[in-house]
């Protein structure tokens, strides 16, 4: 009725709008033609093919910001044919690559690096202070022990990238550091599981539990318990931050997009007040200064990070931001990967039983406490568990591995421009049937728990009897399976992630009987569809499931 009464003036407005609409359309077409001409003129004959867009320089940028997965799916056929294809994103050339070019990205090279990407992360996501961003930006000496050619004069205390790299490679990546972190993770995660009633069925959302208990255990292990004691709501604030990481990375100004910055400020505030308290309480001359774990800073890695960023003269804001980013790196990917693995096990009771039987072979009795625990070195070599782990990474990790060209390079018939970005989407090779789908009944797009397990006949050492044994095999090359990236910037938390995820799965399947109830959508309602990747995270890390699994579980011991 109201529409009817308003008809005349509305018609008048419609004419105006229509006029306006034509003006806007004409302007857009004009711009499109101008852009297209510019794109054509700017295009060299030795440039790789590019993904067409009806409004050059604009449409693919919009697609990149709004749905990277879809954009990469569109460009994939071009990349399969030519190994490289081009896009313009925010006025910059981006080469999407696969195959040999990925191998080049992972090799030590003076023609490309990840510094400008790391600078974006430091500035936009981590919130490093401007003066400290400048310190990293001015340091061109590289990440390795020996400064890059032409930068030998850079004093050791101004080699910021190398110091960061050394911290990871001294206190996070080595086997001993990882083993210590995994041991304390096991202790903390066990504490959480033992809060579940023994022998009684409880109904819950498994992803919800992992988001709470894995983050609690991993953060306590890496950073100590003081932070979580001071802020029991830290974990909820952390997940709010995780959900806006993509928005923060674009670096949009506060006036345009204030929400994500407010979310980060909350976590930042907690980390800041915690660090203040930690520095007040900690005795740097006491025995805890070199302890494997203590409650204030937690691991040696977190303690050394807090100390070295103070000693290097970073601003207070930057010191807090380093602490915050460690917690993001620690938790953002491990939890969704574990959730996906658990979903697969819950969906398939026979797989659940097979995995339980396998992990129980690595249970031992702790000589000190008499309690059951895992023999970690045995657990980590179990074939089915490793295969489930790799399958989950293969299907759900979608970090766009990124490097920038600091000089032009030739690949095949193409010359790639200096200053351009190279991006390698892992899912191009991770979902390639030619690589993974040898058994056509299990295409690469499908989770197949035994994809990386082979049966092998061996001779029993004592009896000489021929027996069938299962063995884990990884047939793909590092440039074909790269959930953790590669080269100098390859994830230094990869060993820890592997131990944490495999241990979490093993602890749950050995301790709990589980029954699936139903899928739960984002609003807590019953969902009939199967879970899918939340593609909002495509490009930045593991894609979490878009829904949870409501289960019943009962603790057995």
- Residues forming contacts to ligand HEM in the complex (CB under 6 A) are 114, 118, 165, 168, 326, 329-330, 333-334, 337, 397, 399, 401, 483-487, 489-493, 496-497, 542
Closer CB to ligand HEM, 176 or 455, in the complex: 176
Closer CB to ligand HEM, 108 or 468, in the complex: 108
DSSP strand pairing (401-405 vs 409-411): unpaired
Q: Can you list the alpha helix ranges (DSSP code H) found in 95-174? A: 100-106, 115-120, 130-138, 160-171
Closer CB to ligand HEM, 48 or 493, in the complex: 493
Contact 97, 80 (CB under 8 A): no
Q: How far apart are CA 385 and CA 405, in angstroms?
A: 39
H or E segment at 396? helix 383-396
Q: How far apart are CA 141 and CA 132, in angstroms?
A: 16
Closer CB to ligand HEM, 125 or 497, in the complex: 497
Q: How far apart are CA 520 and CA 527, in angstroms?
A: 5
Q: How far apart are CA 270 and CA 51, in angstroms?
A: 44
DSSP 3-state percent helix, strand, coil across the chain (nearest 5)? 55, 15, 30
**Among candidates 118, 3, 213, 94, which has minimal Cα distance to 487?**
118
CB neighbour class for 485 (10 Å; exposed up to 12, middle 13-18, buried from 19): buried
**Among candidates 142, 186, 233, 545, which has minimal Cα distance to 376?**
186
Closer CB to ligand HEM, 53 or 132, in the complex: 132
Minimum CB separation of residue 200 from ligand HEM in Å reads 32
Minimum CB separation of residue 282 from ligand HEM in Å reads 21
Minimum CB separation of residue 391 from ligand HEM in Å reads 13
Closer CB to ligand HEM, 146 or 361, in the complex: 146
Minimum CB separation of residue 183 from ligand HEM in Å reads 15
Closer CB to ligand HEM, 61 or 334, in the complex: 334
Beta bridge partners of 245: none
Minimum CB separation of residue 387 from ligand HEM in Å reads 16
Q: Can you list the alpha helix ranges (DSSP code H) found in 282-333? A: 300-311, 316-331
Residue owning tokens 């797989």:
351
Minimum CB separation of residue 5 from ligand HEM in Å reads 59
Closer CB to ligand HEM, 379 or 496, in the complex: 496
Side-chain-facing half-sphere of 531: CA atoms under 13 Å: 28
For residue 485, give Cα distances in angstroms to 150, 153, 534, 540: 27, 30, 21, 12
Cβ of 515: how many Cβ atoms within 10 Å?
12
| 25: helix, strand or coil | helix
Closer CB to ligand HEM, 260 or 485, in the complex: 485
Contact 398, 537 (CB under 8 A): yes
Closer CB to ligand HEM, 87 or 401, in the complex: 401
Minimum CB separation of residue 122 from ligand HEM in Å reads 10
Minimum CB separation of residue 513 from ligand HEM in Å reads 27
| 185: helix, strand or coil | helix
Minimum CB separation of residue 333 from ligand HEM in Å reads 3
Closer CB to ligand HEM, 61 or 333, in the complex: 333
Minimum CB separation of residue 393 from ligand HEM in Å reads 6
Minimum CB separation of residue 518 from ligand HEM in Å reads 27
Cα radius of gyration (the chain): 26
Minimum CB separation of residue 195 from ligand HEM in Å reads 24
Closer CB to ligand HEM, 357 or 474, in the complex: 474
Residue owning tokens 């009725």:
1
Q: How far apart are CA 121 and CA 485, in angstroms?
A: 16
Q: How far apart are CA 45 and CA 413, in angstroms?
A: 10
CA 525, 528, 533, 534 dihedral sign is: negative
Closer CB to ligand HEM, 300 or 550, in the complex: 300
In whole angstroms, what separates CA 163 from the centre of its chain?
23
Q: How far apart are CA 96 and CA 94, in angstroms?
A: 6
Minimum CB separation of residue 497 from ligand HEM in Å reads 4
């Amino acid at each position: 009725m109201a529409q009817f009464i308003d008809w005349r003036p509305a018609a008048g407005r419609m004419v105006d709008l229509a006029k306006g609409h034509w003006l806007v359309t004409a302007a857009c077409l004009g711009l499109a033609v101008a852009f297209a001409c510019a794109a054509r003129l700017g295009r060299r004959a030795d440039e790789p093919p590019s993904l067409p867009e009806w409004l050059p320089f604009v449409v693919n940028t919009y697609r990149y910001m709004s749905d990277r997965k879809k954009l990469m799916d569109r460009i994939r056929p071009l990349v399969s044919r030519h190994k490289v294809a081009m896009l313009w994103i925010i006025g910059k050339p981006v080469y999407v690559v696969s195959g040999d070019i990925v191998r080049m990205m992972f090799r030590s090279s003076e023609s490309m690096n990840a510094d400008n990407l790391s600078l974006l992360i430091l500035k936009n996501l981590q919130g490093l202070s401007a003066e400290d961003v400048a310190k990293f930006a001015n340091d061109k000496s590289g990440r390795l022990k020996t400064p890059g050619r032409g930068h030998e004069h850079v004093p050791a205390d101004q080699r910021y990238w190398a110091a960061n790299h050394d911290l990871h490679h001294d206190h996070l990546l080595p086997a001993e550091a990882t083993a210590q972190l995994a041991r304390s993770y096991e202790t903390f995660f066990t504490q959480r599981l033992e809060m579940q009633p023994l022998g009684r069925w409880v109904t819950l959302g498994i992803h919800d539990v992992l988001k709470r208990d894995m983050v609690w255990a991993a953060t306590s292990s890496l950073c100590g318990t003081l932070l979580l004691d001071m802020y029991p709501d830290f974990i909820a604030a952390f997940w709010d931050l995780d959900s806006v990481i993509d928005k923060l990375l674009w670096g949009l100004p506060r006036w345009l997009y204030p929400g994500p910055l407010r979310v980060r400020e909350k976590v930042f505030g907690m980390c800041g007040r915690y660090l203040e308290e930690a520095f007040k309480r900690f005795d740097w001359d006491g025995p805890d200064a070199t302890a494997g774990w203590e409650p204030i800073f937690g691991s040696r890695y977190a303690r050394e990070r807090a100390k070295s960023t103070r000693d290097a003269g970073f601003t207070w804001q930057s010191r807090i931001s380093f602490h915050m980013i460690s917690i993001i790196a620690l938790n953002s990917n491990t939890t969704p990967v574990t959730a996906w693995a658990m979903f697969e096990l819950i969906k398939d009771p026979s797989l659940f039983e097979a995995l339980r039987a396998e992990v129980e072979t690595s249970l031992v009795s702790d000589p000190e406490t008499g309690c059951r625990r895992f023999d970690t070195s045995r657990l980590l070599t179990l074939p089915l568990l490793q295969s489930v782990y790799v399958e989950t990474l293969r299907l759900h990790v979608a970090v766009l591995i990124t490097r920038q060209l600091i000089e032009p390079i030739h690949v095949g018939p193409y010359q790639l421009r200096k200053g351009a970005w190279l991006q390698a989407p892992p899912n191009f090779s991770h979902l390639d049937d030619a690589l993974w789908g040898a058994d056509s009944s299990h295409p690469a797009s499908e989770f197949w728990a035994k994809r990386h397990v082979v049966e092998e006949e061996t001779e029993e050492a004592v009896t000489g009897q021929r027996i069938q044994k299962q063995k884990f095999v990884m047939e793909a090359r590092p440039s074909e399976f790269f959930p953790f990236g590669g080269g100098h910037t390859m994830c230094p938390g990869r060993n820890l992630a592997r131990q944490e995820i495999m241990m979490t799965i093993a602890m749950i399947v050995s301790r709990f009987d589980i029954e699936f109830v139903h899928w739960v959508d984002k609003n807590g309602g019953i969902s009939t569809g199967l879970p899918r990747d939340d593609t909002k995270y495509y490009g930045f890390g593991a894609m979490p499931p878009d829904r949870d699994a409501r289960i019943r579980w009962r603790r057995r011991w």
